[in-house]
Structure formats: C-alpha cells, structure tokens
Structure 1
C-alpha cells in the first residue's frame, strides 16, 4: 500500500496528465502558418490608438498569434480572431460577423484602415500609443 501511495505522490509531483494544458505545449503544437497569416511587419504586437473621433482611448492591438484586442475608455474590451487576407487587407470577426478592412497606409507611427461595413466604407486613422496612457475621467451623469 505504501508503494502505491509513493507512486501516486511521484506522479502528482511530476504533474503527469496536467502538462497538456500548458501554453508552451499549445504553442509548440500550433503550426507556424498563423504567424505568416498575421505577420505584416509594423502592424502586429503594437498598440494602435484612434487618432480621429471625439471619444478618447479607442485602441486596437493585432497580436501575432491571430488575436485582435479592442478596447476603449468607455466599453468593455473585446478579443476577436483576425488574419491577413492579402498584403493590403485583413479581416476579423465580431459577434459572428466578419469585418473586412483595407490597409490604406501603414508606417511605424500611423495606420489607416478602410473598413467595409455593409455597403459603406469607413476610414479610421490610428497612431501608435503613447506610454504611459490613462483614460481621462469620464463625466458621470
């Protein structure tokens, strides 16, 4: 009986059966294709804040793992899958709906997207975020 208890203790210490959930294994198992589909130089792994508009703190972060982080000073953040569809276009999914956008221009300091929203096209201009940044106090009514 003590040998069974010792074996169980060793297995528990080694974490047998629990390692499949570790992120390192997920990354190793994932094909490198996702990095290629989302690997537009200058676009990924950078915080972009909206330069136009009157509401502060709108931001997009295109992560190289295919996750788009969207946030603002007044809304809850959103995580969405995204990918490049060509050298000059990308898409992401919001609430089951694909949003497509053309990359009008991309520099180290500026990103301009033309979003295709139904029959309309909306141009949005983003700049790289300044650090540190804190959302301004929003007036409470």
Structure 2
C-alpha cells in the first residue's frame, strides 16, 4: 500500500498541486519581434525527424530542425553535426556549416513528406525527406 507521504511526493513531482500551476506561453502570445520564429512553416516541419528519401547510394541522412534553433544532422556513415538555423522568411531558412551559410526554401511540407530547395554553390538542389518511422535503424552499409 502506498503511504500518503509517498503519494504526496509523487503528485508534487508531477506538478499536481496549487503551487505548481504555471501555464506555458503560447506562440500567439509572443511579441511581434518573435513572430518570425513561430511561423506556420516552422511549426509544420520543426521538431520532427526527417529521413532523406532520395539518397541514392548513401542511405540514412537525417535532419532534425529543433524549434530552439538547433539543427541536428546525422547519417549512417558520418558523425552527427549540430548547427544553428533560423527562418529568414515565411518559407526560407538558413543554417551554418563550417562557417558557410546554407540557404533553403520549403517547397512543400506535410505530415509525412518534406521537400526542400537547398542552394548549394550557384544552383538550387531539391532534397526530399520523409518522416522517420519509429523504430528506425540504419541499413547495413557495404564494407
């Protein structure tokens, strides 16, 4: 049988009580200066794990655009990378790799697919991603 003290401690940790009622700030309540960071495009593709679907010979490219401005990039054959990223327009964003800014545009986004137009060198390259299935394991790589 659970003692009253243990039950009270669990409820306090879980935030069930009158002293812990703090409501989170909603995106709609943000100042006008922060509105670009809460754009519908950013909300629609950030905080999701995207796996590149047009990989060719190198499968397992993963990008995660976290809403705090961190881009997590990983693949089945390279070490992961953390970069800063930010929205530059309603559908445009930029991240930095090794001191070089890379610009991209969201061509389309849905619950299951993301298509980006990434500016590499002087040309735009289309990259296609799909929402990662859980669990996900890198495929066996030929040695």
Q: 1:49 to 1:38 in 2, by over 3 A?
A: farther
1-side partners of 2:70 and 2:34: how far apart?
10
Deviations 1:63-85 (A, max 9, x none): 01100000000000000000010
Corresponding position of 2:54: 52
Question: Where has structure 1 moved over 3 Å in runs of 4 or more?
Answer: 31-36
Number of equivalenced pairs:
110
1:120 paired residue number: 123
- After superposition, the C-alpha distances for 1:40-98 in whole angstroms (9 at most, x for unaligned) are 12211100000112221101000011000000000000000000101110100000000
Q: CA RMSD in A?
A: 1.9
Kindly state the Cα deviation for residue 136 of structure 1 after the two structures are TM-superposed.
1.6
2:37 is aligned with 1:37: yes
Alpha-carbon distance in 2 for matches of 1:41, 1:86: 13
Q: Is the 8 A contact 1:60 1:69 kept in 2?
A: yes
Structure 2 SS opposite 1:113 = strand
Q: Give the Cα separation in 2 of the matches to 1:34 and 1:48.
A: 25
Are the aligned partners of 1:37 and 1:85 in contact in 2 as well (CA < 8 Å)? no
Q: Is the 8 A contact 1:38 1:83 kept in 2?
A: no
What is the TM-score with the length of structure 2 in the denominator? 0.71
Structure 1 residue 104: Cα displacement = 0.5
Structure 1 spans left out of the alignment, 5+ residues: 1-30
Contact 1:35-1:65 at 8 Å conserved across structures: no
Give the alignment partner of residue 68 of structure 1, picking from 56, 71, 91: 71
Aligned equivalents of 2:141, 2:35: Cα separation in 1 = 38
Higher radius of gyration, 1 or 2: 1
Please give the alpha-carbon distance, in whole angstroms, between the structure 1 residues aligned to 2:47 and 2:34: 14
Q: Are the equivalent residues in 1 in contact too, given 2:104–2:118 (CA < 8 A)?
A: yes
Task: Give 2:80's aligned residue.
Answer: 77
